[in-house]
Structure 1
């Protein structure tokens, strides 16, 4: 059987695990994994059979780099993260060379999902799940008005950019904090209203911020698998359980939310829904139309999310999958000798 060539462009370090999950697939399908990153010593490349550097480009120039890479290396499946929207916009260029791309092809939906403000409004209209109270602002005075309204409704307040990944830019407003104590302690995500307002007022306007109620319950990351047409095949709710512990557990209302999201938006392959409870009600944080940073933990449920997405993209039959019972998991560091394309990396440079 010929090897299937799979390409990851610039990913997070956890792509190392995705690559090994695909390589060690339950069907014994042989794969050859290619990966690129601007830093040839990046951890994600340690899971690849063939690693290379990629240029710092944007827009069509970056897409053309990926197309050329796929053509030269006869890539069957491309799993993008960086510049996903640009790649989706020009996905026909990959179709033309026979490379299947694991990306949502609904450009309007993809663009909306990547802007939290637009997506919250979309979800509000569908009514498929509860969203937090929020306001989108771009000036200091709008920020003040949003903050005061949320406080008047009894909320503690937080804010974050509408277009960001992970926790970048997330801040909690806390007016009782002690800057002196924090100077001698851990760096925190907390800031007073006056500090935030003063910083934002230093410019006439700024990129959109979402000012919203702070949710105080458990946060769940629901890892989802769908086929190429967006039909849901698996959903695993996962939460932190103290320290390094992670708990995958059956939560019927979260699994039902995953079903409604799939039915409404038809996001193909791997996607992730982040929810957080408040007053016993799960509320939306965001949806990521890609593999999540903790997906390798969810795979301990017995569902090989990355490989099954690849199998589905190649036209293979993938049956709906579930997990038998709750799974408590954790992780430890594993030392590795750094290698590039099978060779040890030896360098005098820092």
Structure 2
């Protein structure tokens, strides 16, 4: 099975899969455009990929790679939307492609405004308006502000919370700058910036949800939620929950869009309970926390996709757990090394330089 370039959690996923694969049923392949990527150090076979290929060219390279290496399961991170469009071509080679949804739903999840619209009446949503111009902002502000104590703004397309700001009518710009509260912006300053924008983006003006935020890690199979763990932050720790309204909300999204594999649903409490923030149609960066529940999410996602295990065998996750992060590091090469990792690098050549102070299960 092959994981191509993806988020940093790929390293953790490969380690967890290897821990669960005690019978050594799987050979783990990993590729990346950066030779120092940690995932390359833990795979059985590691090889390079070019950072310069466009999506069409990259899909052809992936097809060739699956053909030459006899890949049974391909879990794409990079260009997963383009790869999912060609799933039938991979299946002709005998390669199953594990992606969260159809190409249409994957594209929909990248546009928060369209994704929200697809879920009207399905799950609780924050009240929002789509704006691009100053006139649209002023109209939406006049409509929403009387109904909500605070409003916020965020891009319709974006990840990791980039571009999110709380709008403040009594904003002290100096105190915000010195005090480090970069999430708050004055309404007048935002209006001025929007009026001066040469290429305004599509933005969401929405009610600010003041309650608890949850991150729900989900294992799904063809629209059915098989297992889920909701993570709630408590300072430097996280509390694991295995039931509640946030998980019910995630189950409704999984069913509506027939999601598959590992996905992550972000919620935040408002009036009446949790409301949807966004869907990450991939495993989350905090997936390690969820695995402390007793469910090895990466392992079960690939085991179900390959058909070597059945969903009825997935253990029930344990909740009411307080989980703390630990620090781990790994040697991935030498600082003088340049260029791409040699093609066909196998585990024996990486284990000599691989060293960890803490394995991912130490997060418990």
Q: Return the TM-score normalized by structure 2.
A: 0.85
2:353 corresponds in structure 1 to: 344
Q: What is the 5 A alignment of 1:261-272?
A: 261-272=253-264
Establish whether residue 88 from structure 1 lines up as the match of residue 84 from structure 2.
yes
Partner Cα distance (1:251, 1:8) in 2: 31
Measured against aligned partners, the alpha-carbon deviations of 1:102-126 in whole angstroms (never above 9, x if no partner) come to 11452332222221111111111xx
Structure 2 vs 1, CA of residues 208 and 152 (structure 1 numbering), >3 Å: closer, same or farther? same
SS class of match (1:31): coil
- Counterpart CA distance in 2 for 1:281 and 1:305 is 27
Cα offset for 1:34? Answer: 2.2
Query: CA contact under 8 A between 1:15 and 1:47: conserved in structure 2?
Result: no
Q: Would the aligned equivalents of 1:217 and 1:278 in 2 still touch at CA under 8 Å?
A: yes
More displaced 10-residue stretch of structure 1: 234-243 or 324-333: 324-333
Say whether the 8 Å CA contact 2:82–2:103 is kept in structure 1. Answer: no
Q: Does 1:236 align with 2:232?
A: no
- After superposition, the C-alpha distances for 1:276-335 in whole angstroms (9 at most, x for unaligned) are 101341101111221111112101101011111101111131325322331111112113
What SS is found at the alignment partner of 2:27? strand
1:159 to 153, 163, 171: 153
1:82–1:148 distance in 2 versus 1, CA, 3 Å: farther
- Contact kept, 8 Å, 1:140 with 1:205, in 2: the verdict is no
- Given that residues 38 and 330 in structure 2 are in contact (C-alpha distance below 8 angstroms), is that contact kept between their aligned partners in structure 1? no
Residue 305 (structure 2) aligns with? 313
Mean Cα displacement is larger for which, 179-188 or 14-23? 179-188
Aligned CA RMSD, in angstroms, stands at 2.2
Please give the secondary structure, in 2, of the residue aligned with 1:184.
helix
Give distance in 2, aligned partners of 1:207 and 1:10.
28
CA distance in 2, matches of 1:122, 1:205: 26
Q: Mapping of 1:220-259 within 5 angstroms?
A: 220-227=214-221, 229-243=222-236, 245-259=237-251
- The TM-score with structure 1 as length reference comes to 0.88
Q: Distance in 1 between matches of 2:42 and 2:172?
A: 44
Cα shift at 1:217: 0.7
Which structure 2 residue ranges, 5 or more long, are not aligned? 334-340, 355-364
Aligned-pair CA distance for 1:204: 5.3
Deviation at 1:165, TM superposition (A): 1.9
Query: With CA pairs under 8 Å and 6+ residues apart, which has the higher RCO, 1 or 2?
Result: 2
Between the aligned partners of 1:263 and 1:191, the Cα distance in structure 2 is: 37
CA 9–144 in structure 1, closer or farther in 2 if over 3 Å, else same: farther
Give the drift of 1:234.
0.5
- Equivalent pair of 2:219/2:226 in contact (CA under 8 Å): yes
CA contact (8 A) 2:30 2:47 kept: yes
CA–CA distance in 2 between the matches of 1:183 and 1:51? 45
| Residue of structure 2 equivalent to 1:64 | 60
Match of 1:15 among 3, 10, 14: 10
